[in-house]
Structure 1
Amino acid sequence: MKWPLLPCSRFSDFFSLKNRRFPFLGLVLAAIVGILTEEIFSFPSWGIFLGSLLLGGVLLFFIWKNPLSCIIEQGLFFLFIALCFATLHAWQWKESPAYQVASLLEKRGDDIAVEGRVASEVKVSSNHYSSFFLQTDRISELTLPVTMFVHWEGPPLLYGERVSLRAQAISPQGPRNPGEFDAKTWLARKEVFTELRMDPSDPGRILSSGELHQLMRMALECRQKIGEWITLGITDDSTAMKLIKAIALGSQEEEIVDFIDDFKLTGTMHLFAVSGLHVGMLAVIIWFFLKMLRLPRWSAVLVTIPLLFFYVAITGFRIGSLRAAFMSSLFLIGFLVSRRPQMINSLAAAAFCLLLSQTNLLFSIGWQFSFCVVFSILFLATPFQKILHPLYKHDPFLPKRIITPFQKWRYDLCHHFTQLVAVSAAAWIGSLLPTLFYFHLLSFSSLVANVIAVPIAFLILALAVLAVLVAPFFPWVAPVFNNSNWLCAKILLMVVHGCSLLPLTSFSVGFSMNRSPKLTIFDFPVAQAAMLQVEGNAWMINTGNANKAAHCLLPFFAENGISALQGIVITEKRAATIGGLVPLLEEIQPSSFFSSEEKGNSFVFKHFLRKLGESGMQLTVLREGDQLNFSPSCSAEVLYPPVGSSDSALVLKFQLGKASLLWIPNSSISLQTWLLEHSSLEKLHATILLFPSMEKKMEEDFIKAVAPRCVILGNDPFKKHHSSPSFQELESSLYGSGITVLDQVQTGAIILEVLRDRVRLHQFLDHKDWEILNASGYPSLY
């Protein structure tokens, strides 16, 4: 009896394009469906596993004994693949050993002794803290091989070294504000559910070097050495050196912060991601060199493929480089067996293999960008070029023998240029959806910038390869190539910067703002900050520190499509409250600034005033009785400080439609006493009170005088008010008076939206909603 054909050999006809077969395309689509199904519905792995075994048995039975129609077999086979990947995703996600260990350690609570090996490149931050991924061998008395993220205190480390440490095991913290990076999910996608934080007084120890990781250590050492070779002779221009290293070896965002903004705006960030351009060029150079040595074809293939993956290891196993190495390997293997591979099928095969190794790669930005862009290029570049071809092609009735050399040269030049334009346009379309979804940015200048920037980047990469080839043998020759590379790097920076200055370069694309007032009260430690959105305008009240402005506010603006601020109101002059003024002044350029005085003792405030003066803008001073009008239905009245006061605190009463909010910048007893003595109860009364902390009897009296329906307390880590008996007593007393207390330590950011007949308060951390009805007295949870 002949063994029947495997289903996929007949299923390949199902996915065809102009009679070409793409068997892996169906497989990878089935894998994606299975992973997404498990991600959304979270079925138990044992149920999916049993279902896949049952379906696999049924499928084999019908193929062997009673063949079904091709369409039914295809459907059952793809369903089987989907179930297999759903089971694999369940094992690698919520049911992974790392997740189970994290749950046990979280219940334990005390410090643990850990031994393991450094499983990633050690990152050293600007404040000299080291962090890395640790592959554990032993946790306390148990042998548990899981991956954890370590904040290291101890001697410098290298990849693969075996270490011993004692640390507190904690669950990674998720974002507390909209716009913040979700480090918890990012780590979880890497199957890391535990962070280890060490006590500086108890540093870790190095037990042994990494004998079992010599290949990876060699790759990291090669990366460092190549970085030195490609910058020999360039000593006085760190920007050019960083750019050359970033293009040749790939780079993290923090390493190219000096010029990253222009590349983001022009859609040329892909130049720093080691991808098909880098791997393809390296493959051509290796193949050309081996051909000069007259190696047989099969020997050249066997040498080239390992070298490509070693280059992938040198550049840090980026998703794009892995994908390109897989595709190049399939292409070379097809060349070896005299079969021309289909590039779309090779792309699908690379995607299938990567998802098989780690299903969470499907949710990686790098994976999505890489495969979307390359698929778009493979699918659209040729049709685009065919559309452009009639613009420069020769007259078909013109005999080839009378075509002049200049006409041939012009045709070749136009042909290569249109190839570049077609690829650039196809790549722009492929990156459109991921760019809009993740970065909320629409860049039109990328169509122009990529046409010019990609050839220059290719030249930079070629010169870097030449420098690497000659530096070990002729170190005095390498600076010749490197200085040529310096010139190319400068031209690239000039081109990208010029494209970023073009009109209609890029747009922030986000959710449209509601016409009803919406106040986002951010959860910043020791600082009150909020964003007011009303009738298409945006206002900031304070900014938080510089770090919060860069990593929370600016992404939040992008998500909401905010490209300009009407103004910033400053209620305090502490660095924790206004440290983000200068970054916002440079990035967003607000139209106006308001504060209680033009002077201040804070260094941060003085620095801001200098920058403000350089920009030609002025600071508007507010005093008691002044009013800010945000819209016809939204305003703020200044209740403090009085004229002649030297206090920098600014007390505001917001009128947001039918609701009101009283903003108290600090919990000073003297401030509360002044307000009670000099302001009428009618002025102090508000629907919501924003208050820094609540511990003293005086604060209870002040709150009851304001008579709010809800009190929002700020996050002050230096005042553990939420766990003190006095706070719990005050909270019970206020609740008995019909006042609900929302503590931002527990809620995170709070989004306040004023609707026609009610006020809705949304807690960011637990997604609970509260409503304050205008007709009733108490907030209600729903």
Structure 2
Amino acid sequence: MSGKVYVLVVAAISSILLRVEGFHSISFFFLLALIYFFYKYKSDYKLLISALILIVLFYVNPLYFKDTPPKPNTNILAGKITSIPDHDGNKTSFELKSNDRQTYQVNYFARDSNENNDLKNLRYGMVCQIQGEYKLPPEPRNFYSFNYKEYLKTVRKIYYQFTPDSFSLEDCRQGSVTPYSLLQNYRQNGINYIMENFPEGSRGVVIALVFGDRGEIGHEILESYQSLGIIHLLAVSGLHVGLVSASLYFLFIRLGVTKERAIDLLLIMLPIYAVLAGGAPSVLRATAMSMVVLLSLRAHLKLNPLDGISYVCLLLLVFNPSYIFHLGFQLSFLVSYSLIISANTLLNRYSSWVIQLLVVTLVAQFVSFPIIVYNFYEISLWSIPLNLIYIPFVTFFALPLSFVVFISHFIFPLFSESLLIIFDFVIVNAHRGLAYVMTFPFSTLTFGKPPLIIVVFYYLAIGLNLYVWEKSPSIGQLIKSSSIFLVVALFHWHIHYITNEGVITMIDVGQGDSIYIELPRREAVYLIDTGGLVDFRLNDWSTRTKTFDVGNDVLLPYLKAKGVRKIDKLILTHGHFDHIGGAEALIGEIPVEKILYGIGPVEGVFEQQLLRDFYNEGTEIEFVQKGYYWKRGDFNFQVLAPVGGEQTLNDRSIVVYTKIGGLYWLFTGDLEAPGERRFLNNFNAIEVDVLKVGHHGSNTSTTEPFLEFVDPSFALIPVGRTNYYGHPHPDVIGRLEANDIKIFRTDHHGAIRYRFKNDVGHFETLINERTVPKQSVRHR
């Protein structure tokens, strides 16, 4: 079976995908590959029987894929902390394994600074008993958003979260000490030591490279690494493990240890390093692969590298089959397999180390492209040149110096401080270089989230391209084979321009408004408001570094997942932060051709600066009122308000009226009772099928006369869960229900989407799925 163990990996992955995801494009792709391998190796009965056994075992084993257990019928959680507690501002979170062997995610928000400081003394392995409430993890509230609930279930085996009523260090005691808990505490102490003693500019990088935790790197810096395609340099992987192993090996040799004993020591120390480095799938893969190589050297066995990595992959999947859904696992093994299969042939063709580095970078970037674009929706044209610069920089400077400054800080603090100044200066300027590259044109290309079938075609094209590159040094043949990949990429790039389906989505931005309108064949993209979260926190001790921002965390990911590369019109209905706060995130990310703003003075400092920043980016600013009109293709849009002279910002809201997908839509911003009365006086009659309820369902809006006048069939209410204002008001809900109006609200349903072709469409919601049949969603 030498050289064929990868077939067993394909069998295992096929079985896991079928068990968890069912029959779709990716599972079909792996099944076809498996059928091909069965035919290719049909005479190797040992291989075929082993593959069939693995398929059955992975598919039927109930220990791997369990249904959600019943919610505990108690308000007490007792057990051991099984992750290093994370402290960010007033939030403390950790995993706790209960006495019945279930793991729970615990999140607690400290009530005062003393309690907060007290909780920073929590340690891995402590045994706690807490009183509180069990909750299901939150479901994704927007289309294309990260499914945290599914991540906890599949990757972490966590089915419930626990929120303590109160929590202090007195609720916990030190548990039994094990070698594993000791290592975790050493890791926690090391991270804390770096946070307390290292400069802010470089400490995040040192923690990432030494302990495998990127959580302390600033959001903007981390985004630069991710957007520019070099985020893998901050992950502990084969490069890091290889450097650590080689350094320890030569150190042992210099100390007079024999080669055999040096290998024995490494076999003992590598698992310890894997724990200290965080134990992520990429760390486990690199560590296990190094140990397999060392064991083969120790036993004087010649091991096929393809078999070695296949055994490691199978071992990890047996340990946790859900690793297959972990992005780090996917990228780590995919790149490793590709380099093992292709790079050796290709590298032998070139003598220059620069060309060899370029080849390795090209292969790695090529094979990771579909996964990157599927998960992050965009890629950078600068990733290859930046990898050529930053791979040597991290390999020969940042990585070894991170270990040197960390270790020497304990032994020679004065020397380490001097070295740390130089190290910090270089790291900070390296990050400034990335920020500068981010300002370059085409620093990122937004493709949007591809359908899984396109991912399959990408990999078929990539496989063909690598095969031709291996077999033929001809540039002409390589260009011809690359053309298939380019065709798939061009189809992906233009997919939204060739479909006759349009969509209107009320994005769930919490307590705020944001409505996305995409016309068929992407004839135009309009965005009505952007949401915006007002932060009421006043105390410095409670301020979190990982702050939630509607623009960056909700709006931009949605637009990029849709592949939006330009917004034709951004309609800011009025100047309240919950309608315009998220717009700031668009600046420099997605070009906006024109902003519509209600006529009248721009009162607030934030609003003035926002419009000024957009204007400096080349956006046209137009102040509009009743009578403003535009047309795009077969679609007409009218502004019905404001008329000018309104007394409040809410009543200055831009009101947009249009017919889309066979329905008449009225978008009212935060229009309140005075504005509604003015609206009734200005119009004799108006047809409305869908009403965007004004002011989040406040009782100051959607009055009975206004509701009787517009007489909609559907009402959309953008409102935050458990919001401070008590929206939507029960009286408003009562009036809507009394008029037999179907209600969709973001606090109950998450994002609300209307998909249409020509004059027929249907509503979809993400939570509490509620779909109105196509035939019933027509204009009356």
TM-score (norm 1): 0.80
Q: Which residue of 2 aligns with 1:438?
A: 375
3-state secondary structure, aligned to 1:39 = helix
CA distance change for structure 1 residues 77 and 382 in 2, over 3 Å: closer, same or farther?
A: closer
Provide, for residues 360-388 of structure 1, a one-character-per-residue CA deviation record: whole Å limited to 9, x for no partner.
11111111011111111112222222343
Q: Which residue of 2 aligns with 1:557?
A: 559
Question: Which segment is superposed worse, 467-476 or 441-450?
Answer: 467-476
> Would you say the 8 A contact 1:654–1:662 is kept in 2?
yes
> Which of 146, 160, 166 is the aligned partner of 2:102?
146
CA distance change for structure 1 residues 165 and 607 in 2, over 3 Å: closer, same or farther?
A: farther
Q: Which residue of 1 aligns with 2:750?
A: 748
The reply on whether 1:294 has 2:261 as its aligned counterpart is no
Query: Counterparts in 2 of 1:498-647, with a 5 A limit?
Result: 500=438, 504-510=442-448, 512-513=495-496, 514-515=499-500, 517-534=502-519, 535-545=522-532, 547-597=549-599, 599-600=601-602, 602=604, 604-609=606-611, 611-612=613-614, 615=617, 619-629=621-631, 631-647=632-648
The reply on whether 1:199 has 2:204 as its aligned counterpart is no
Any unmatched runs of 5+ in structure 1?
1-11, 13-20, 43-68, 138-143, 390-413
CA distance change for structure 1 residues 711 and 254 in 2, over 3 Å: closer, same or farther?
A: farther
CA distance change for structure 1 residues 450 and 195 in 2, over 3 Å: closer, same or farther?
A: same
Shift of 1:353: 1.1
CA distance change for structure 1 residues 248 and 610 in 2, over 3 Å: closer, same or farther?
A: farther
CA distance change for structure 1 residues 543 and 426 in 2, over 3 Å: closer, same or farther?
A: same
Query: Counterparts in 2 of 1:37-48, with a 5 A limit?
Result: 37-41=18-22
CA distance change for structure 1 residues 741 and 694 in 2, over 3 Å: closer, same or farther?
A: farther
Mapped to 2, the partners of 1:582 and 1:533 lie a distance apart of 21
Shift of 1:646: 3.5
> Would you say the 8 A contact 2:202–2:424 is kept in 1?
yes
CA distance change for structure 1 residues 503 and 342 in 2, over 3 Å: closer, same or farther?
A: farther
Q: Partner letter of residue 263 of structure 2? A: V
CA distance change for structure 1 residues 253 and 545 in 2, over 3 Å: closer, same or farther?
A: farther
Question: Which segment is superposed worse, 559-568 or 210-219?
Answer: 210-219
Shift of 1:424: 1.0
> Which of 294, 311, 316 is the aligned partner of 1:332?
294
Shift of 1:344: 1.7
The reply on whether 1:87 has 2:72 as its aligned counterpart is no
Q: Which residue of 2 aligns with 1:7?
A: none
Q: Which residue of 2 aligns with 1:485?
A: 423
Q: Which residue of 2 aligns with 1:375?
A: 337
3-state secondary structure, aligned to 1:524 = coil
> Would you say the 8 A contact 1:441–1:507 is kept in 2?
yes
> Which of 759, 769, 772 is the aligned partner of 1:770?
772
Provide, for residues 376-431 of structure 1, a one-character-per-residue CA deviation record: whole Å limited to 9, x for no partner.
11122222223434xxxxxxxxxxxxxxxxxxxxxxxx2x2222112111211221
CA distance change for structure 1 residues 73 and 337 in 2, over 3 Å: closer, same or farther?
A: closer
3-state secondary structure, aligned to 1:583 = helix
Provide, for residues 700-719 of structure 1, a one-character-per-residue CA deviation record: whole Å limited to 9, x for no partner.
44223212232223335447
Q: Which residue of 2 aligns with 1:188?
A: 153
3-state secondary structure, aligned to 1:528 = coil
Provide, for residues 606-625 of structure 1, a one-character-per-residue CA deviation record: whole Å limited to 9, x for no partner.
45245446657563211122
CA distance change for structure 1 residues 729 and 596 in 2, over 3 Å: closer, same or farther?
A: closer
> Would you say the 8 A contact 1:532–1:540 is kept in 2?
yes
Q: Partner letter of residue 642 of structure 1? A: V
Provide, for residues 129-167 of structure 1, a one-character-per-residue CA deviation record: whole Å limited to 9, x for no partner.
111111112xxxxxx221001112553122221222111
Q: Partner letter of residue 585 of structure 1? A: I
Query: Counterparts in 2 of 1:325-404, with a 5 A limit?
Result: 325-389=287-351
Q: Partner letter of residue 447 of structure 2? A: V
> Which of 457, 473, 497 is the aligned partner of 2:411?
473
3-state secondary structure, aligned to 1:646 = coil
Query: Counterparts in 2 of 1:35-114, with a 5 A limit?
Result: 35-41=16-22, 71-88=44-61, 90-95=62-67, 99-100=68-69, 103-105=70-72, 108=73, 112-114=75-77
Q: Which residue of 2 aligns with 1:677?
A: 681
- Percent identical: 18
Mapped to 2, the partners of 1:116 and 1:526 lie a distance apart of 37
Shift of 1:74: 3.6
The reply on whether 1:242 has 2:214 as its aligned counterpart is no
Any unmatched runs of 5+ in structure 2?
24-41, 451-494, 534-548
3-state secondary structure, aligned to 1:211 = coil
3-state secondary structure, aligned to 1:770 = coil
Shift of 1:297: 3.2
TM-score (norm 2): 0.80
Q: Partner letter of residue 171 of structure 1? A: L
Provide, for residues 562-602 of structure 1, a one-character-per-residue CA deviation record: whole Å limited to 9, x for no partner.
12222311113222222112111242242222211464555
3-state secondary structure, aligned to 2:574 = coil
Q: Which residue of 1 aligns with 2:6?
A: 25
Q: Which residue of 2 aligns with 1:134?
A: 96
CA distance change for structure 1 residues 219 and 639 in 2, over 3 Å: closer, same or farther?
A: same
3-state secondary structure, aligned to 1:388 = coil
Q: Which residue of 1 aligns with 2:223?
A: 261
Mapped to 2, the partners of 1:384 and 1:742 lie a distance apart of 57
3-state secondary structure, aligned to 2:505 = strand
Mapped to 2, the partners of 1:229 and 1:335 lie a distance apart of 36
Shift of 1:332: 0.6
The reply on whether 1:158 has 2:143 as its aligned counterpart is no
Question: Which segment is superposed worse, 465-474 or 597-606?
Answer: 597-606
Asked which structure has the greater CA Rg, the reply is 1
Aligned length: 681
3-state secondary structure, aligned to 2:517 = strand
CA distance change for structure 1 residues 742 and 207 in 2, over 3 Å: closer, same or farther?
A: closer
> Would you say the 8 A contact 2:127–2:174 is kept in 1?
yes
Mapped to 2, the partners of 1:467 and 1:430 lie a distance apart of 35
